[in-house]
């Protein structure tokens, strides 16, 4: 049984890498779309400003998962295997959802998608 959990953690780690790439690219697109469209500065200048903005946002977002952990679901009320199922579903859904939205050029929020993925995963598990 422990090997299954170890496999799940490994899969979560691999999916997390893809999720970070998709999430950062989504944030960069949201950050840049109006500036590029209005041609306020050169493309290079906009990329430098976007890189600084994303770095600052990533380094100052330490309370983001606190909202999800305390506002969406209470982990202490679930068994470990249920938490693993929820987190696997959230990570897979996040990668697919953000990738599809970015590919189609549709705007989306990584925060809103994460909150509703947690809510949907928790609700689905409760229904089962």
Per-residue pLDDT tens for 15-26?
A: 888 777 777 777
Three-state DSSP state, 76 = helix
Residue 128 contacts by C-beta under 8 Å, 6 or more apart in sequence?
Answer: none
Domain boundaries, position 30? 2-127
For the CA atoms of 81, 85, 86, 92, the dihedral, rounded to the nearest 10 degrees, stands at: 150
pLDDT for 49 equals: 85
pLDDT in tens, the chain (128 residues): 678 888 888 888 888 887 777 777 777 777 777 777 888 888 889 888 878 877 887 777 666 556 656 666 777 888 888 888 888 888 888 888 888 887 787 777 777 787 788 888 888 888 88
pLDDT for 98 equals: 81
pTM of the shown model: 0.65
Distance from C-alpha of 6 to C-alpha of 12, rounded to nearest angstrom: 10
pLDDT for 66 equals: 64
What is the total count of domains within the chain? 1
The answer to whether 125 and 86 have CB atoms below 8 angstroms apart is: yes
**List of E strands, 38-105:** none
């Amino acid at each position: 049984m422990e090997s299954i959990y170890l496999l799940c953690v490994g899969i979560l780690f691999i999916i997390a890498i893809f999720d970070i790439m998709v999430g950062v690219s989504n944030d960069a697109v949201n950050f840049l779309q109006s500036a590029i469209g209005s041609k306020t500065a050169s493309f290079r200048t906009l990329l430098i400003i976007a890189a600084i903005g994303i770095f600052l946002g990533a380094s100052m977002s330490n309370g983001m998962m606190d909202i999800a952990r305390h506002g969406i679901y209470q982990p202490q009320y679930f068994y470990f295997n249920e938490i693993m199922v929820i987190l696997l579903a959230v990570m897979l859904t996040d990668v697919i959802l953000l990738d599809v939205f970015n590919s189609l050029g549709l705007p989306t929020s990584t925060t809103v998608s994460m909150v509703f993925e947690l809510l949907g995963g928790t609700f689905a598990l409760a229904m089962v």
